[in-house]
Amino acid sequence: MSKSKKVIIDLLAKAGIKVNGNEDWDIQVHNDKFYSSVISGGSLALGESYMKKWWDSKRLDLFFNKLLRAKIYDKMNLPLILHGFKAKFLNMQSRFRSRKVIDKHYDLSNELYESFLDPYNQYTCGYFDGTDDLNEAQVKKLELICKKLQLKKSDRVLDIGCGWGGFAKYAAEHYGCHVTGISISDEQIKYAKEYTKGLPVEIKKMDYRDLEGKFDKITVVGMIEHVGYKNYRKIMKVINKCLAEDGLFLLHTIGDNVSSTKCNPWMDKYIFPNGMLPSIKQIGKAYEKLLIMEDWHNFGPYYYNTLMAWDKNFRKNWTKFKKVYSEKFYRMWRYYLLSCAGAAKARHFQLWQIVFSKGKSDKVYQCVR
């Protein structure tokens, strides 16, 4: 047995994972290059070797759950050194670099996303409170946001990073308010404009740094993960400038348990270039002396339900895309969804909905759950 093979087998054993074992979370190694590759390339090589079919697991979500709970994944960190250096000294989410994730991920194909998302095309965590159904959970999430924002017909609402227009459509249809959605994705803008046609909704191609005007309510749902720690203060200043004196701002974001300045190398290379998750400390520093935090709600465990539902839909509809995308893409996409599902199950990251105001009212904010 090679030294690298022994190291990997011993590491995985500490997490209760057996190479060529019979449990759903065990891995089956098809190519012995896997061992030396992971030793030298860490978490990046783990993902790339899966894409190359060098190994498999019946349940990637459970494999990653066990790997992360045992903190074994943290030891596969060699590529993080250079990655962390870049994130520290460069603004990886500048105007120019912020386009990279759009070109790599969000402008892939509207049809691809429609195939595994709900009818409102919500690419963020659902609210699985009293339901196991993805579509119902996403409607519950949208309604939760509207209630937390205390939406009313006279409100002018700003949705920063509006995606395919799902929130804008829901808020305009159910509350009658006017919604302005902004995005820098051409594909999303094209889709959102058609999707919200006939409603009091305006969709604009715009970077958040260029925003002007005043709004009664503002949302940032699943977008600040692409803003970067060097720009958290900047986006909070923009929101503070655009928020009415008696307005409310809701931030819906995946949250990191620790303060970091970098993303997982595999995720950065293949899925979300230049992305990163904010921590409580980083968010706190960003809004200090600008806004007042009225409510902080964590429903991170629901991301496991969401990701598993997305994976199920993706598998079910894959035949529609087999001629467009390769098997390598298929394995990459499932690795992305299921590794994130395992991370959610292990509570490696959280999902926060945070409500802010300018603190101009004596009225106690009524928390909604």
Average pLDDT over residues 282-311: 98
d(CA 223, CA 108): 17
Contacts of 232 by beta carbon, 8 Å cutoff, 6+ apart: 224, 278, 282, 283, 285, 286
Residue 92 has pLDDT above 60, yes or no: no
Location of structure tokens 């203060």: 233
Q: What is the mean pLDDT of residues 345-352?
A: 98
Give the pLDDT of residue 264.
Answer: 87
Structure tokens at 268: 């950065």
Q: Give per-residue pLDDT as tens, 151-175.
A: 999 999 999 999 999 999 999 999 9
pLDDT of 89 reads: 46
Fold entry, domain 92-357: Rossmann fold (3.40.50)
**351: CB partners within 8 A, 6+ apart:** 125, 252, 253, 254, 255, 298, 299, 300, 302, 303
Q: Are 265 and 288 in contact (CB under 8 A)?
A: no
- Alpha carbon distance 293, 270 (integer Å): 35
Compute the distance between CA of residue 12 and CA of residue 41 in angstroms, rounded to an integer: 16
- Return the pLDDT at 35: 94
pLDDT the model gives residue 262: 79
Q: What is the pLDDT of residues 252-267, one digit of tens each?
A: 999 999 998 878 889 9
In whole angstroms, give the CA distance from residue 1 to residue 5.
7
Predicted pLDDT of residue 356: 98
- Evaluate whether 269 touches 105 at the Cβ level (below 8 Å): no
Residue 340 a catalytic site member: yes
Residue of 125, 162, 242, 340 with catalytic role: 340
pTM of the entire predicted model: 0.92
Q: What distance in Å separates the CA atoms of residue 243 and residue 150, rounded to the nearest whole number?
A: 15
Token pair for 24: 């759903």
Q: Give residue 72's pLDDT.
A: 80
Closest CA to 244 of 217, 263, 219, 267: 217
Per-residue pLDDT at 81 exceeds 50: no
DSSP for 13-60 reads HHTT--BT-SSTT-BEES-THHHHHHHHHHHHHHHHHHHTTSEE-S-H
As a whole number of angstroms, the distance between CA 266 and CA 343 comes to 14
Query: Residues 93, 228: contact at Cβ < 8 Å?
Result: yes
Within the chain, all domains assigned CATH 3.40.50.150 are found at 92-357
pLDDT at 191 over 60: yes
